[in-house]
Amino acid sequence: MIKKVGVIGAGQMGNGIAHVMAVAGLDVYLKDISEEQLQKGMKVIEGNMQRQVGRGKLAEADMLAALGRINPVVDDGYLADIDLVIEAATENEETKKAILAPLGPQLKPEAIIATNTSSISVTRLASVTDRPDQFMGMHFMNPVPMMKLVELIRGIATSEETFQTIQDLTVHLGKSPTPAEDFPAFIVNRILLPMINEAIYTLYEGVGSVQAIDTGMRLGANHPMGPLQLADFIGLDVCLSIMQVLYEGLADTKYRPCPLLVKYVEAGWYGRKTGRGFYDYTTDEPTPTR
């Protein structure tokens, strides 16, 4: 039974994961290497919970109790006491391995380790830990408090008991689990990111403007958000790193990242989080940039 959880990385996903875990009654330790990110993450959680209270989705008293269950931490003392650690740090294999490798000796023998990676091999990440059988992918969607799906990914060594425990936890969080095999980018991003990349090619080749492409897919394919708007929302750096994992992992040129996506990331135009991507977010209404 999972009661105490450590979340490593307090960015947009980590703070969302801490949020839903605390609302579900679990004790949460939220860790980041950046004190500033940690404080920002705590503020975002409070703001998002306030919004849920405003919409009548969460009682004020439950919000206060949930906030009280989240402990921001900067050192590793909390690890000795937890049942599950979820790694939600930057999407970079070396960063993740450096976080995961030293965890084992600090954890209880029965503790499970999960990663929220969007695309990196769960089996490869598991191999740097002391417990590949108690390791799996728990891939939440963004924004975590709103999105129902959690993809559950078995590495080659993941035990059935580990999978069942995480599946039960997912249901306890009020989410819908869906199983995926450990192939690059799993199911959702394997399908979604090539579509976004194709939308960027469509822009790059001058087939349509930002507005034409997004309106086309919203009204023509009934998508709630256009693909370029969605790319800005996910983060263009995250989109590029997922396309690179698909391109390298599946060795097929159809996954080649669009040069325009590469250029935007090189410029530091990561989308909403930096104020500019395919839209400019410094104006009242986001303005298309092309």
* Lookup: tokens for 39: 């404080």
**Is there a catalytic annotation at residue 189?**
yes
91 binds ligand NAD (CB under 6 A): yes
Helix pair 210-220, 227-234: axis angle to 10 deg: 110
| Beta carbon nearer to ligand NAD, 169 or 234 | 234
CA distance 242 to 253: 14
Q: Is 10 in the site for ligand NAD (CB under 6 A)?
A: yes
Distance CA 67, CA 46 (A): 7
Report the residue from 84, 122, 185, 238 that binds ligand NAD according to the rule CB under 6 A.
Answer: 238
Q: Are 132 and 112 in contact (CB under 8 A)?
A: no
Catalytic residue among 48, 116, 139, 241: 139
Taking CB atoms, the residue at the shortest distance from ligand NAD is: 11
Enter the tokens of residue 172. Answer: 């306890």
170 binds ligand NAD (CB under 6 A): no
Asked whether 126 and 132 are in contact (CB, 8 A), the reply is yes
Residue at token pair 């950046």: 34
Choices 6-14, 45-53, 166-174, 223-231; region in contact with ligand NAD by CB under 6 A: 6-14
Q: How far is the CB of 129 from ligand NAD (least distance, A)?
A: 15
Stretch that binds ligand NAD, among 19-27, 90-98, 217-225, 246-254 (CB under 6 A): 90-98
In whole angstroms, give the CA distance from residue 25 to residue 16.
15
Please identify which residue in the block is written with the tokens 């989109």: 239
| Options 5, 6, 7, 13; binder of ligand NAD; rule CB under 6 A | 13
Would you say 87 and 9 are in contact if contact means Cβ atoms under 8 Å apart? Answer: yes
Residue among 13 and 243 whose Cβ is closer to ligand NAD? 13
Q: Is 235 in the site for ligand NAD (CB under 6 A)?
A: yes
* From 48, 116, 118, 121, active-site residue: 118
- Which part of the chain contacts ligand NAD (CB under 6 A), choosing from 12-20, 102-110, 221-229, 247-255? 12-20
Q: Is 141 exposed, middle or buried (0-12, 13-18, 19+ CB in 10 A)?
A: middle
By CB under 6 A, tell whether 137 contacts ligand NAD: no
48 classed as catalytic: no
- Give the binding range for ligand NAD (CB under 6 A) out of 46-54, 112-120, 153-161, 195-203: 112-120
Residue 94 annotated in active site = no
Residue 89 within binding range of ligand NAD, rule CB under 6 A: yes
* Alpha carbon distance, N-terminus to C-terminus of the chain: 51
Are the CB atoms for 9 and 89 separated by under 8 Å?
yes
Q: Residue 127 or residue 142: which is nearer to ligand NAD going by CB?
A: 142
Q: Is 153 helix (H, G, I), strand (E, B) or coil?
A: strand
Residue 118 annotated as catalytic? yes
Question: Is 277 among the residues that bind ligand NAD (CB under 6 A)?
Answer: no
Provide the annotated active-site residues.
118, 139, 151, 189
Note the residues at the interface with ligand NAD (CB under 6 A). 8-14, 31-34, 37, 88-91, 95, 99, 116-118, 139-142, 234-235, 238
